């Protein structure tokens, strides 16, 4: 099973290889591919940090572990303060998701 850090490490390896290859080549295609891999790496970092909320068509909603913990705390300890934090978290994630949806996932670089 590939985890986010493994995916980022594999992209980093490909980037280093491509940059080395591009440095030895006069072709602009190699540099272009390295730039595209760099975009993908940036996208994965955004997903990991919860800056991207929507993955695919109704496939997944991304949230950070801290955000998830707020929801869990509100269920486990249903005090007004915990519930308010959970509601605020849900509203923020939903607003981000709707913004991503409105853009039709244009920032996905692949």
Q: Are residues 26 and 70 in the same domain?
A: no
* 83, 36: one domain: no
Residue 93 and residue 40 share a domain? no
Range of the domain at 38: 1-48
State pTM to two decimals. 0.60
23-40 per-position pLDDT tens digit: 676 666 666 777 777 788
Measure Cα distances from 28 to 23, 34, 37, 92 in Å.
10, 10, 14, 41
Does residue 90 sit in the same domain as residue 76? yes
Residues 7 and 40 in one domain: yes
Same domain, 42 and 57: no
Q: How many domains does the chain contain in total?
A: 2
Are both 59 and 42 inside the same structural domain? no
Distances (CA, A) of 83 to 37, 38, 71, 89, 95: 41, 39, 8, 10, 18
Is there a single domain that holds both residue 30 and residue 62? Answer: no
pLDDT, one tens digit per residue, over 43-91 is 888 888 888 888 777 677 888 899 999 999 999 989 999 999 999 999 9
Burial classification of residue 8, based on how many CB atoms lie within 10 Å of its CB (0-12 exposed, 13-18 middle, 19 or more buried): middle
The verdict on 77 and 40 lying in the same domain is no
């Amino acid at each position: 099973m590939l985890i986010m850090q493994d995916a980022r490490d594999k992209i980093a390896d490909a980037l280093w290889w491509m940059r080395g290859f591009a440095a030895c080549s006069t072709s602009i295609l190699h540099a272009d591919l390295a730039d595209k891999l760099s975009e993908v790496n940036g996208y994965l970092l955004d997903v990991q940090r919860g800056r991207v909320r929507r993955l695919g068509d109704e496939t997944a909603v991304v949230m950070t572990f801290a955000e998830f913990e707020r929801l869990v705390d509100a269920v486990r300890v249903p005090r007004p303060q915990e519930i308010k934090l959970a509601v605020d978290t849900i509203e923020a994630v939903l607003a981000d998701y709707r913004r991503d949806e409105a853009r039709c996932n244009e920032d996905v670089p692949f």
